[in-house]
Structure 1
């Protein structure tokens, strides 16, 4: 009940801000046309969670303003430490107070979908149609919500498997370029020794890191969440059962995965587990690219390789994996929507190459540019020579994002109860069937209470 009141309050405050933003002067809402040629100079505000160290904004924005001299970008960094929660709170406050908003950056699907639902974000379909391209062909990440586009994707951070190549060599195992979950489990078993586990799963934990309970689901093109696009439960999906069975077998039967009791009681973290060589493999997101060659905090004393996210069956297309991105949007109350769109379109294409900090979602990035970005990222680590560059590039080139299913407003509640039922299974011996039935019942109650 408290959560619903809070959502209604935020929506009300945002509505006030949006109305306030629309009463300022009767300027054409779609902006002033092609600002490359227009004589009118326009300043757009760009609100972001990303700091300078992580996103190289000075060089990136300078390059944009050079190409579009009649659009000035006023950067508003919402969190100097890159804290996305702090940034979200400040962005909502700015919207509620009627501040100028033009370009908005969201760091996760839930934050993006929530702001769309609150009317804070403008659809950009008219600009896409005017330019004449298809988002699904142009970009690797799906951003569609209810048949409309409200964002273009920036970086492309697919999940992959980090491998201790020294451990693989000792076990006589090759670096996989295409593999299944069964093969992943077999590798983990063969890699387990008295000194280290074959793998480490960093979740679930307190309703977070639920990616580790979607393992088999996430290998598919569609239907990868606990709730389907139509709002019904997806816990009867055989791939959810498969994930639970995998986790149970690896931890309890094979003893090839770090025990959940250790993870929770010792507050273990994936970086320590991998870089300290306590686990031979780690399923994690490619935000780790910037750390692969080691850092001051986590030195690298072994060789690293990268394998793709496993698929369910040998004959499957493969490449599908959880992906994180930055959702680049135009604010609903912007008076310069055309210019704001011009910036996000440039930033999510040429701008990603200029920025040089992340792998772009843009499909038109050349192999040469991709390799150059990878080399630039690795060069900033302590020991780039210890990273199997070819395996990393192979994975990044072939990774694909599943179709986006907008997160539900009550996602945190769902995650909490699924996490609890998983713990009953892994800690208390509750069988898989009972775990699924209990989770289904509790999830359905949440869905019904939120209709």
Structure 2
């Protein structure tokens, strides 16, 4: 009897031991937690995306942290990355910021994880950014740039929304749309100066003309800001503000922080049109915050002439990257792939994010973005302009001193469009300072 008890006790201990071990393994798997930082508010898609992932992947739980995609928000992200705070994956919205983080050792080279094959199969090869030939990021969104138009203001001015227009035609229409009533001016245009190429509210005529790598010449050995297209671009914006008085004043853009909250001017009808990208459409649909019934239409960006094909200032964007310090490479890569494909298609369209995933077609895009809000938009114009299959996107492959050049552009543009210096001084200073930055980077 004693022997039997001892034998049973032995087996019970084994069962308990292995039970605890199995439970411990399961608990350990469930304990894997990823932290992902992004610039899109959680309520505009990322929250639902992460919630679905967590529900269907109990072994890999994700926390989404939102940062504001402006200078201070990007600084906050950089500080967190450099301090060693847990961030497994994060989004970057533009090549200069991406280059800065890659060169700063904050980003994992994805080549060893099969990223090249994944991107080729699911997204394609056009518009994919590589740094020194290596793949560090996956673009999750297509962001064509176009003019978002208040059709009611065009109608009131007796104007048709153009299917195409030249720079000169665009300037004349800006003037015709500018009206002062009761001491209050409604401007023809709201736009920001071309400082960061990834900002969709830029009026970037130089990009339209020159396309890829437009900051550089001689394959990055010198700055290209003495090119006539850059001078035209700066003078055009300057004249809209100070000569024609048809563009919203830059001083007010800065004081009201409209670089970040650009939609306020358009939806409060302080400006008739603005350069835009699909992500801003989510604000047009927010009739609780911006009550209106007038229709938003779409026009392509203006071009120098209608005889040839020019570039669209937009590009693939919303790049997701892996922190070089993550302890969970395999799990992070698994989540990154999900976001770039099924996650983006199912949860990000409502916020105006057009996925790069090949399986998303135009019907999915229009349904995902506009369902229930069709009356607020000129759907035919959207299909013609925004979903144009012949859009010629840009991709910068030369990035020498890009973060430094972006800062130089910001400093000198602020002086110019606050009327503290001339356009000629802007061009001279940006050219000479950028040449020095390139020389120092080499």
Q: TM-score range by the shorter chain?
A: 0.7 to 0.9
Alignment of 1:402-441 (within 5 A): 402-405=394-397, 406=399, 408-411=402-405, 413-420=407-414, 422-423=416-417, 427=419, 430=422, 432-441=423-432
Shift, 1:102, TM fit: 4.1
CA shift in 2, pair 1:345/1:274, >3 Å: same
**Are 2:153 and 1:162 equivalent residues in the alignment?**
no
CA shift in 2, pair 1:170/1:51, >3 Å: closer
SS in 2 for 1:156: strand
Which residue of 2 is the match for residue 329 of structure 1?
Answer: 321
Which residue of 1 is the match for residue 9 of structure 2?
Answer: none
**Are 2:281 and 1:289 equivalent residues in the alignment?**
yes
Which residue of 2 is the match for residue 185 of structure 1?
Answer: 171
1:48 to 37, 54, 72: 37
CA shift in 2, pair 1:271/1:226, >3 Å: farther
Check whether the contact 2:320–2:336 (CA below 8 A) recurs between aligned residues: yes
User: How far does the alpha carbon of each residue in 1:43-69 deviate from its partner, in whole angstroms, 9 at most, with x for none?
Assistant: 462422355312343445535874xx5
Q: In 1, distance between residues paired with 2:85 and 2:248?
A: 50
Alignment of 1:8-47 (within 5 A): 43=32, 45-47=34-36
Cα RMSD of the aligned pairs, angstroms, is 3.9
CA shift in 2, pair 1:367/1:117, >3 Å: same
Q: In 2, distance between residues paired with 1:364 and 1:267?
A: 37
User: How far does the alpha carbon of each residue in 1:425-449 deviate from its partner, in whole angstroms, 9 at most, with x for none?
Assistant: x73673x445422432343344445
Shift, 1:115, TM fit: 2.1
**Are 2:237 and 1:247 equivalent residues in the alignment?**
yes
Q: In 2, distance between residues paired with 1:385 and 1:422?
A: 41
Check whether the contact 1:184–1:310 (CA below 8 A) recurs between aligned residues: yes
- With 208-217 and 180-189 compared, the bigger mean Cα shift is at 208-217
Q: In 2, distance between residues paired with 1:444 and 1:55?
A: 42
CA shift in 2, pair 1:194/1:324, >3 Å: farther
Q: In 2, distance between residues paired with 1:340 and 1:371?
A: 30
SS in 1 for 2:60: strand
- With 434-443 and 364-373 compared, the bigger mean Cα shift is at 434-443
Q: How many residues align?
A: 398
Q: In 2, distance between residues paired with 1:150 and 1:447?
A: 23
Shift, 1:230, TM fit: 1.9
Shift, 1:394, TM fit: 3.1
Check whether the contact 1:158–1:400 (CA below 8 A) recurs between aligned residues: no
Q: In 2, distance between residues paired with 1:118 and 1:287?
A: 29
**Are 2:390 and 1:390 equivalent residues in the alignment?**
no
Which residue of 2 is the match for residue 25 of structure 1?
Answer: none
Which residue of 2 is the match for residue 372 of structure 1?
Answer: 367
CA shift in 2, pair 1:94/1:281, >3 Å: closer
Check whether the contact 1:218–1:322 (CA below 8 A) recurs between aligned residues: no
Which residue of 1 is the match for residue 16 of structure 2?
Answer: none
Which residue of 1 is the match for residue 207 of structure 2?
Answer: 217
Question: Which stretches in structure 2 are left out of the alignment for 5+ residues?
Answer: 1-28
Which residue of 2 is the match for residue 31 of structure 1?
Answer: none
User: How far does the alpha carbon of each residue in 1:281-327 deviate from its partner, in whole angstroms, 9 at most, with x for none?
Assistant: 21234321101245333322532212222334323334612347321
Which residue of 2 is the match for residue 62 of structure 1?
Answer: 52
Which residue of 2 is the match for residue 17 of structure 1?
Answer: none
Larger Rg: 2
| Structure-2-length-normalised TM-score | 0.74
Check whether the contact 1:216–1:239 (CA below 8 A) recurs between aligned residues: yes
CA shift in 2, pair 1:61/1:77, >3 Å: closer
Which residue of 2 is the match for residue 133 of structure 1?
Answer: 120
User: How far does the alpha carbon of each residue in 1:188-234 deviate from its partner, in whole angstroms, 9 at most, with x for none?
Assistant: 1332334433212344799x979746333245431234788625212
**Are 2:438 and 1:443 equivalent residues in the alignment?**
no
SS in 2 for 1:201: coil
CA shift in 2, pair 1:361/1:231, >3 Å: farther
Q: In 2, distance between residues paired with 1:83 and 1:262?
A: 17
Which residue of 2 is the match for residue 74 of structure 1?
Answer: 61
SS in 1 for 2:416: helix
Which residue of 2 is the match for residue 33 of structure 1?
Answer: none
Alignment of 1:178-327 (within 5 A): 178-195=164-181, 196-203=186-193, 212=202, 214-218=204-208, 220-225=210-215, 230=220, 232-260=222-250, 263=253, 270-318=262-310, 320-323=312-315, 325-327=317-319
Check whether the contact 1:161–1:281 (CA below 8 A) recurs between aligned residues: yes
**Are 2:129 and 1:147 equivalent residues in the alignment?**
no
Check whether the contact 1:233–1:440 (CA below 8 A) recurs between aligned residues: yes
